[in-house]
Amino acid sequence: MKAAAVAAVATAFAWLLLRAESQTSISLLLLLAVAAGVAAARLRFRLSGPSVLAFAAVAVLALLLREDDFSLLLLTRILIVVVACLGLNVQFGYAGVVNFAGASFFGVGGYTAAILAPRLPHLLVLLLGGAAAALVGSILILPVLRTRGHYAALVTIAFALLFRTFLEVNDTLGGPQGLKLPELVIGPFHFNDPVFDASFYLRYVALGLVLAALALGVVQRLERSWIGVALDAVRLDEIAAASFGLSIARWKIAAFTIGNFITGVAGALSAFMIGFIAPNNYAFSESLILVSILLLGGIGNPWGLALASAIVIVLPEKLQTIQEYRFLIFAAVVILILLFRPAGLLPRPLRRLKT
């Protein structure tokens, strides 16, 4: 009951915020959100309920916004970023493998989609986007396994920089001008046709929801299973884990590959939706934004990163009215949140195996 009420309130709030245009209404709504957040933290408000509720809330929100192309585009972007971050979450949050090249794997998915889309059915292309990201990741994992801590981080940063330069000088991949993608077609659905009178973005929201549900299902089951326990052990203490017979390399490879696959699929869908990709989209700074979503949400908690994704995408957008100062304000907000909640908005709870 409580969860249903929260979902309804959150939907109403999101609807108001996405439609708000004036500076006063946006500031009022944001203040309200901060107040609600602080109150919830003070009252030690705990929320548990079926995940279905959250997805239902997003679906209802999409239907409420059915004619508003821009809000639906934002909503789909949030869902795509959630999926990408769920992938990173497996790496950072569970196995403790650092990956500062999230946007690069996102980009591998996007470029794979751009190249294969004219030739293969698009549902397969989405999966191949993930597979390509996993494949590229399986090469990068070699130096990552040989290094630790800051050094492993440096390896992934180097890869992120290299990836962007590679795209820029590679003319078969469109070079700096990028590539155009055809319309996404899955079965009988042409994604760029309007849905009755409503926006064509409704189909993208639906597909985003399906992907997010699948990714969430995989990640949550992974966490609850013995695999999740093994990954946690590897992250917390490699020596202890090894002495219990866990193969560190094996679990790191597993987490890295699964994570990159999920991120790659998200990248492929993103490329289809924007219809155009270029190296600028996959810069190192984008990887940092993905990592900051994890930190802001609370590493390891899928719901935390969902909330953080919404903030990171919607806030700069709603700050457009202050033009060139928006990222300044946005960055200040992120720092403030982390100052008061150093473990993120929704830190990962302990695993409760009995329910």
Residues in the site for other proteins, rule: CB under 8 A?
68-70, 73-74, 77, 165, 168-169, 175-178, 180, 199, 270, 274-278, 280-281, 317, 320, 323-324, 326-327
Closest approach, Cβ 49 to other proteins, in A, equals: 32
User: Whose Cβ is closer to other proteins: residue 125's or residue 181's?
Assistant: 181
Closest approach, Cβ 266 to other proteins, in A, equals: 13
User: Whose Cβ is closer to other proteins: residue 70's or residue 151's?
Assistant: 70
Distance from first CA to last CA of the chain, Å, rounded? 18
Q: Return the closest-CA partner of residue 257 out of 135, 147, 112, 153.
A: 135
Closest approach, Cβ 267 to other proteins, in A, equals: 11
What does each C-alpha distance from 238 to 242, 246, 251, 257, 349 come to in angstroms?
6, 9, 11, 19, 22
User: Whose Cβ is closer to other proteins: residue 103's or residue 307's?
Assistant: 103
Quote the CA–CA distance of 89 and 342 in Å, as a whole number. 17
User: Whose Cβ is closer to other proteins: residue 177's or residue 247's?
Assistant: 177
User: Whose Cβ is closer to other proteins: residue 7's or residue 26's?
Assistant: 26
Residue 302 tokens read as 């899928």
Measured in degrees and rounded to the nearest 5, phi and psi for residue 277 equal: -130, 150
User: Whose Cβ is closer to other proteins: residue 206's or residue 277's?
Assistant: 277
Residue 195 tokens read as 């849905």
Q: Evaluate whether 110 touches 129 at the Cβ level (below 8 Å).
A: yes
Q: Evaluate whether 262 touches 218 at the Cβ level (below 8 Å).
A: yes
Closest approach, Cβ 206 to other proteins, in A, equals: 18
Closest approach, Cβ 277 to other proteins, in A, equals: 7
Quote the CA–CA distance of 317 and 313 in Å, as a whole number. 7
Closest approach, Cβ 76 to other proteins, in A, equals: 11
Closest approach, Cβ 330 to other proteins, in A, equals: 10
Sort 352 into a burial class: Cβ within 10 Å, 0-12 / 13-18 / 19+.
exposed
User: Whose Cβ is closer to other proteins: residue 138's or residue 165's?
Assistant: 165
3-state secondary structure 145-197: HHCCHHHHHHHHHHHHHHHHHHHHHCHHHCHHHCEECCCCEECCEECCCCECC
Q: Evaluate whether 286 touches 163 at the Cβ level (below 8 Å).
A: no
Closest approach, Cβ 35 to other proteins, in A, equals: 28
User: Whose Cβ is closer to other proteins: residue 59's or residue 274's?
Assistant: 274
Q: Evaluate whether 287 touches 126 at the Cβ level (below 8 Å).
A: no
Q: Evaluate whether 289 touches 309 at the Cβ level (below 8 Å).
A: no
What number of residues does the chain have? Answer: 355
User: Whose Cβ is closer to other proteins: residue 27's or residue 165's?
Assistant: 165
